[in-house]
Amino acid sequence: MIVVMEKDATPDQVEHMVQRVQEMGLKAHVIQGTERTVIAAVGDERVTKAEALESGPGVAKVLPILAPYKVASRELKPDPTQVRVGPFAAGAGVVGVIAGPCSVESEEQIMASAHAVKQAGATALRGGAFKPRTSPYSFQGLKEDGLKLLAQAREATGLAVVTEVMSPEEVDLVARYADVLQIGARNMQNYRLLEAAGKSDKAVLLKRGPAATLDEFLLAAEYILNEGNAHVMLCERGIRTFESHTRFTLPLATIAYLHKKTHLPVIIDPSHGTGHAYMVPDMAVAAVAAGADGLMIEVHPDPETAASDGYQSLNFAQFAETMERCRRVADAVDRVICSMEEAAV
Amino acid sequence: MIVVMEKDATPDQVEHMVQRVQEMGLKAHVIQGTERTVIAAVGDERVTKAEALESGPGVAKVLPILAPYKVASRELKPDPTQVRVGPFAAGAGVVGVIAGPCSVESEEQIMASAHAVKQAGATALRGGAFKPRTSPYSFQGLKEDGLKLLAQAREATGLAVVTEVMSPEEVDLVARYADVLQIGARNMQNYRLLEAAGKSDKAVLLKRGPAATLDEFLLAAEYILNEGNAHVMLCERGIRTFESHTRFTLPLATIAYLHKKTHLPVIIDPSHGTGHAYMVPDMAVAAVAAGADGLMIEVHPDPETAASDGYQSLNFAQFAETMERCRRVADAVDRVICSMEEAAV
Amino acid sequence: MIVVMEKDATPDQVEHMVQRVQEMGLKAHVIQGTERTVIAAVGDERVTKAEALESGPGVAKVLPILAPYKVASRELKPDPTQVRVGPFAAGAGVVGVIAGPCSVESEEQIMASAHAVKQAGATALRGGAFKPRTSPYSFQGLKEDGLKLLAQAREATGLAVVTEVMSPEEVDLVARYADVLQIGARNMQNYRLLEAAGKSDKAVLLKRGPAATLDEFLLAAEYILNEGNAHVMLCERGIRTFESHTRFTLPLATIAYLHKKTHLPVIIDPSHGTGHAYMVPDMAVAAVAAGADGLMIEVHPDPETAASDGYQSLNFAQFAETMERCRRVADAVDRVICSMEEAAV
Amino acid sequence: MIVVMEKDATPDQVEHMVQRVQEMGLKAHVIQGTERTVIAAVGDERVTKAEALESGPGVAKVLPILAPYKVASRELKPDPTQVRVGPFAAGAGVVGVIAGPCSVESEEQIMASAHAVKQAGATALRGGAFKPRTSPYSFQGLKEDGLKLLAQAREATGLAVVTEVMSPEEVDLVARYADVLQIGARNMQNYRLLEAAGKSDKAVLLKRGPAATLDEFLLAAEYILNEGNAHVMLCERGIRTFESHTRFTLPLATIAYLHKKTHLPVIIDPSHGTGHAYMVPDMAVAAVAAGADGLMIEVHPDPETAASDGYQSLNFAQFAETMERCRRVADAVDRVICSMEEAAV
């Protein structure tokens, strides 16, 4: 890292900081500028306490050079990771589509959804059984009954099942029914949960927190990877900004950045990323064009009566049309949307 | 709530929405405007599925009228709540000060800190034993050993102990040693943790998530209150914005807003709220002037060698001077900083 | 609009507000809720002083119902506007591409750029002669000499010329050489400049300010339209958020929103919208997929030596490849990138 | 600055970048890290084209070391600047208060306001004659008639007059009547206007743009200083964030940061900074406590009927009470609110 000294830092202060840098096991190079002195600290700066240098005497600021994550880094593993779960695959040129209702509401609703999204071309089914809701007065999900319905839908369709887990002690239960553990945006920095998911043998879909930087996002993934679970997908679902015509702001440049920095696949969620059903199809095709490794889309038999998130859910016809458009765009950018047929081969 | 129809909505669509509103148990008033029709839905709009109205046919937008929280609301309980824990009190004109290191590092460090912050005028000691850290490679806290040291410091000084709990299954353990359970910003919407804290008989300090709206913040408090725990303090610790000269942006107008909307005490954390020790004293006095019910300040015997957050920690002398300034300002705005002496009476 | 009264508002206060609403020429409907009274004010709420209702006695908040802009509104003019300038067209299914260097630097540079972007398929040339620069010490542009070089490039290639105007008194000068007056993001609310551009007979490319809401953006367009100039293009170039891996955050959902609300064409600038050349091609194709009516891309013969914005400029080969990808994606979404050939017909 | 190379940068690329740095007149120090090479470029990095280094081959990122502004810098002029205009002073321990209506509406209104704010303790009168309004349909100000009324109010009260100028060609006109030229937030980067104000002999109050970084803010001030006008005050009036319970987010930590970086006085505008009259008094006293050199507050005889910004204006009684509280807090932090009496001495 680079320790930038104040303009009026004394030689003693510079010397003090050089010693502090060396105590951390780093090599210190002092560069006398025309206006300031800077100390380049060479070595693995991902050590504890490095941040504390900023409170050293005469220090103006400390600039990190290295990315703080390791296992998630593309420098460590240059080849892209493809996550495969049953018929679903994402990464390395293959675009996987996860679709289904926000919440599992009933057998009829989830079975109809499963068949519809499969027919339209999805290879994974989403559906919340444990629902994190902003208000304690909102529908909280069918819990284990919902998980059973998801497993039943998998049985009937062959789709992979993606569902959220909210707490470390629920990981085992959810893992019994699900193929992919989803960690929601609100829990992106719930470290106990990340650790528990990291110990599971299920793939993990980690959603970005709406105020998380991409470094923080990758460090959250690192918590999972670090426990030995390599099947991690990163899901961009929008960040919080001053915009109010969308519920969140969906920054597709995240894809290019993450592809440069990490080997993990990047999934885009245009439903939460916009919060309005009418925007979802355009943002879904845009995500495919921009290089996304997957899509996660909310689909409901009758959005108007959905128990949650109806305003951002597509109905079956809208989803089928969106998939058709996505396939054409994927073709135009030389990428493939994974399908049940190919998976079956 | 108000359902605003599109300009070209048909009479059938309006009629359909009126029925939907009535099915929710609300009364519908149709108002024919010069350019649009709006439907005023009267009744308790905190019912499930209300949000789904937005996907109704011909609907332009839905505007909520009522606040989504109840128990936290000042309309329900007009008198301010004062949280009292041992010598510490916050709310109803009394300003409580919580101070101490980011992490408990050693007996020497925490005992020295406890004595110093007590002498300077704090009545509660903070210190992290379970530390949520952005990177898995950072210091994660002394865990139960840290809790024991905190209890030892309380024994020696009489200060109330505030410390973070990160997971529902750790609530019992932490509650055995702490007086106030802190729920960190990253866990503001960790609903299982909120529920577990709500079942505890300890007071709770709930920190605002850096991307949470104040309605979301109050709904998170509502999860705790809803379980029967009325001893909740709200802590503003800064939001994420485009500003980069501070780690977070600390919006003191939060105090006036929360005082208008809720009876719960509002604590300000100028350490996390700025991320720079040199800014902490000014923002601490500003918070007192703006009407804060409490302060939470990071103090360390030697910030430069702190295991975490050294860059935003005050040393003992800086903290003592800050407290002196806070007392003068509190006096100027006719409020009182709670002290060990008064508590002893 | 809807005037929401406080829970404890008195009948006198409600009556007072009803009179205030009527004094504004609006009709007042009083709706007695179970918890609050609201007053629906019916009529054209785009009158002066409406905002002041919020300071009325007993008023909790005021919710506007109608969009504040008129002429820009799709409700007024349902058909999309196509802006045509020489070989360039944008809107109504046609995607226009504007490309060229950030600044005009020399005859050689601008002529080479013009030929290269024409050959790759652009129909308009961009290039700054008057440069708004954050620092007074940065290159400020060649001024009128730059304008002359742009005109010379048009002469040689037939491309339409787009260039920025920074001040009302420079409108005449710039209009003498340019086909499209660009109003930069920093000047989006420079109302004197908007008025002056509105009086010109040249088309206007209005860039969104990085902190402007879309309502503010449309109201800025309204200033131009209001003076009688109907040839306005809206350019999304990114908003300021907490993200730091991109210079700005480019929200492509803007396209869907603006297409719903306004008939004006929407241009996307992936160069400023990301601030990194490596992200530009992906975001350009994503914009086309998402329905953009045009693209504005920075292209430079040698980005490394550019006088400004080199880090976000494509070189000629990169731009040609990007155009090729954009054509394929446009085809996949049934839209057409306008070309010199078709324009010549 | 520090040029950080990619991990796999070749020796040729490093050599190329060293040459580029040297061509810019800087000295290059190459530091071979364990994972990457960085090049420290020593010298005055405020040269043109430095930013273009980022597009060099093998470059990962470029980190600036020096602040980009000079004349505004505290390093250049360590002593705080005090701006004095008639009875008004701000800076160097003196807090100046500017108050008055958003818009000048009538002789009666501005004269009553002037007398009231003077009596309450302000030494400068604000009032808009040229009003930048988001909507072209809103009240645009009385223009020169408004300026004349302001001059008349100064005549009667002795208060200094602060009023906005919107365009370079209006600077002379406004300067004929005003003591302080206000440059509004929307025009913070209207460089022609900054230059024109820099050539005037009037003091300038520069408001921060709601999406401007503090470096951009100081560079805007630098445009004015650079033309020879040293009487510049910086006004923080809130930034745009995701918060919606305030119109803008008012970050008081700006004061500490600016006091560290610049010698120019810092004025806080709690009216625009919150957008709600009920929050203004608390934020005004907080600003004084936090070290502000001045306040700018909207005051109106009857906020409910104000032509603009009524929702954030105090009435006379509220302002008088706020001033009383500010004086007590100023006293508690050993600072002085400048008054007509002292000015008269």
Cα B217 from Cα A320, distance rounded (Å): 38
| Segment A297-315, tens digit of pLDDT | 999 999 988 888 888 999 9
**Given the structure tokens 């979404």, which residue do they identify?**
C333
% of chain C exceeding 70 in pLDDT:
97
| ipTM, 2 dp | 0.94
Asked whether residue C316 carries a pLDDT value surpassing 90, the answer given is yes
- A10, A156, B249, D210, D247 from D239: Cα distances, Å: 37, 53, 10, 4, 9
The answer to whether C35 contacts B29, with C-beta atoms less than 8 Å apart, is no
Q: Provide the angle, in degrees to the nearest 10, between the axes of the packed helices A280-289 and A316-332.
A: 20
The answer to whether A240 contacts D242, with C-beta atoms less than 8 Å apart, is yes
Neighbours of D317 (CB within 10 A): 10
Are the C-beta atoms of residues D288 and D328 closer than 8 Å to each other? no
Q: How far apart are the CA of D260 and the nearest CA of chain C, in angstroms?
A: 20
The answer to whether B246 contacts D245, with C-beta atoms less than 8 Å apart, is no
Higher pLDDT, A58 or A33: A58
Asked whether residue D344 carries a pLDDT value surpassing 60, the answer given is no
Higher pLDDT, D122 or B76: D122
The predicted structure's pLDDT at residue B45: 72
Neighbours of B271 (CB within 10 A): 30
Q: Provide the angle, in degrees to the nearest 10, between the axes of the packed helices A316-332 and C316-332.
A: 150
- A302, A309, C160 from A306: Cα distances, Å: 7, 7, 50
Nearest 5 degrees, angle CA D281-CA D283-CA D287?
A: 120
Could you tell me which of D59, D82, D79, D62 has the C-alpha nearest to residue D1? Answer: D62
* C contact chains, 3+ CB pairs < 8 A: A, B, D
Q: Looking at the DSSP assignment, which residues form a beta bridge with residue C194?
A: none
Q: How far apart are the CA of B333 and the nearest CA of chain A, in angstroms?
A: 33
Asked whether residue C345 carries a pLDDT value surpassing 60, the answer given is no
Asked whether residue C55 carries a pLDDT value surpassing 70, the answer given is yes
The predicted structure's pLDDT at residue A119: 98
Select from C237, C259, C282 the residue whose CB has the most chain A CBs within 10 Å, as the one to mutate to test that interface: C282
pTM listed for this prediction: 0.95
Ranges of beta strands (E only) in A209-265 are 232-236
The predicted structure's pLDDT at residue C307: 86
Query: Which chain C residues have a beta carbon less than 8 Å from that of D272?
Result: none
Task: Tell me the helices (H) and strands (E) count for chain C, helix number first.
Answer: 11, 15
Tokens of C83: 């802006």
Tokens of B77: 């309980």
Cα D242 from Cα D246, distance rounded (Å): 10
Cα B203 from Cα D80, distance rounded (Å): 46
**Residue D300 zone, left/alpha/beta (φ > 0; ψ -120 to 50; rest):** beta
Interior/surface letters B170-185, b for 16+ CB within 10 angstroms, e for the rest: bbebbbebbbbbbbbb
Cα C219 from Cα D118, distance rounded (Å): 37
The answer to whether D20 contacts C189, with C-beta atoms less than 8 Å apart, is no
Q: Please name the member of D51, D167, D304 whose beta carbon is closest to the beta carbon of C311.
A: D51
Asked whether residue A296 carries a pLDDT value surpassing 70, the answer given is yes
| Segment C186-212, tens digit of pLDDT | 999 999 999 999 999 999 999 999 999
Asked whether residue C48 carries a pLDDT value surpassing 60, the answer given is no
Q: How far apart are the CA of A42 and the nearest CA of chain D, in angstroms?
A: 5
Q: What kind and span of H or E run contains A193?
A: helix A191-199
* Averaged pLDDT for residues A55-64: 88
Give A33's contacts (C-beta < 8 A, 6+ positions apart).
D42, D43, D65
Q: Which CATH superfamily is domain C83-344 in?
A: Aldolase class I (3.20.20.70)
Three-state DSSP class for residue D70: coil
pLDDT along chain B (345 residues), means of 10: 90 94 90 88 71 84 87 93 97 97 97 98 97 88 96 98 96 98 97 97 98 96 96 98 96 98 98 96 98 98 89 96 98 95 64
| Segment D169-199, tens digit of pLDDT | 999 999 999 999 999 999 999 999 999 999 9
**Phi and psi at residue D122, in whole multiples of 5°?**
-75, 155
Asked whether residue A196 carries a pLDDT value surpassing 90, the answer given is yes
Residue spans in chain D of domains classed CATH 3.30.70.1140: 2-63
Averaged pLDDT of chain C: 94
Q: How far apart are the CA of A332 and the nearest CA of chain B, in angstroms?
A: 32
Asked whether residue A180 carries a pLDDT value surpassing 90, the answer given is yes
- B65, C19, C60, D306 from D311: Cα distances, Å: 19, 18, 11, 9
**Given the structure tokens 């729920």, which residue do they identify?**
B183
Q: Is D238 exposed, middle or buried (0-12, 13-18, 19+ CB in 10 A)?
A: buried
Between chain A and chain D, the number of residue pairs with CB atoms below 8 A apart is 57
Of the pLDDT bands very low, low, confident and very high (cuts 50, 70, 90), residue A33 is: confident
Interface residue A166 vs chain C (CB under 8 A): no
Query: Which chain C residues have a beta carbon less than 8 Å from that of A260?
Result: 278
DSSP B103-138: B---HHHHHHHHHHHHHHT-SEEE-BSS---SSTTS
Tokens of B310: 């050294």
Are the C-beta atoms of residues D300 and D104 closer than 8 Å to each other? no
Are the C-beta atoms of residues D261 and D66 closer than 8 Å to each other? no
Interface residue D277 vs chain C (CB under 8 A): yes
Could you tell me which of A309, A87, A292 has the C-alpha nearest to residue A180? Answer: A87
The answer to whether B137 contacts A307, with C-beta atoms less than 8 Å apart, is no
Q: Please name the member of D31, D35, D242 whose beta carbon is closest to the beta carbon of A241.
A: D242
Are the C-beta atoms of residues D72 and D224 closer than 8 Å to each other? no
The predicted structure's pLDDT at residue A52: 72
Are the C-beta atoms of residues D1 and D29 closer than 8 Å to each other? no
| Segment D274-286, tens digit of pLDDT | 999 999 999 999 9
Cα B187 from Cα B223, distance rounded (Å): 13
Q: How far apart are the CA of A322 and the nearest CA of chain B, in angstroms?
A: 18
Query: Which chain D residues have a beta carbon less than 8 Å from that of C49?
Result: 139, 305-307, 310
Correct CATH for C2-63 of 3.90.76.10, 3.40.50.880, 3.30.70.1140, 3.40.30.10: 3.30.70.1140
The predicted structure's pLDDT at residue C230: 97
The answer to whether B38 contacts C65, with C-beta atoms less than 8 Å apart, is yes
Nearest 5 degrees, angle CA A19-CA A22-CA A28?
A: 90
Cα B244 from Cα B246, distance rounded (Å): 5
Cα B244 from Cα D239, distance rounded (Å): 13
Residue spans in chain A of domains classed CATH 3.20.20.70: 83-344
Q: How far apart are the CA of A111 and the nearest CA of chain C, in angstroms?
A: 31
Interface residue B89 vs chain D (CB under 8 A): no
Of the pLDDT bands very low, low, confident and very high (cuts 50, 70, 90), residue D217 is: very high
Interface residue D303 vs chain C (CB under 8 A): yes
The predicted structure's pLDDT at residue C49: 61
Ranges of beta strands (E only) in D68-136 are 83-85, 88-90, 94-100, 124-126
The answer to whether A34 contacts D44, with C-beta atoms less than 8 Å apart, is yes
Give B118's contacts (C-beta < 8 A, 6+ positions apart).
B125, B157, B158, B159, B340
Asked whether residue A135 carries a pLDDT value surpassing 70, the answer given is yes
Asked whether residue D222 carries a pLDDT value surpassing 80, the answer given is yes
Query: Which chain D residues have a beta carbon less than 8 Å from that of C69?
Result: 135
The predicted structure's pLDDT at residue D296: 98
Of the pLDDT bands very low, low, confident and very high (cuts 50, 70, 90), residue D339 is: very high
**Phi and psi at residue B173, in whole multiples of 5°?**
-60, -50
Select from D59, D242, D248 the residue whose CB has the most chain A CBs within 10 Å, as the one to mutate to test that interface: D242
Q: Is B82 exposed, middle or buried (0-12, 13-18, 19+ CB in 10 A)?
A: middle
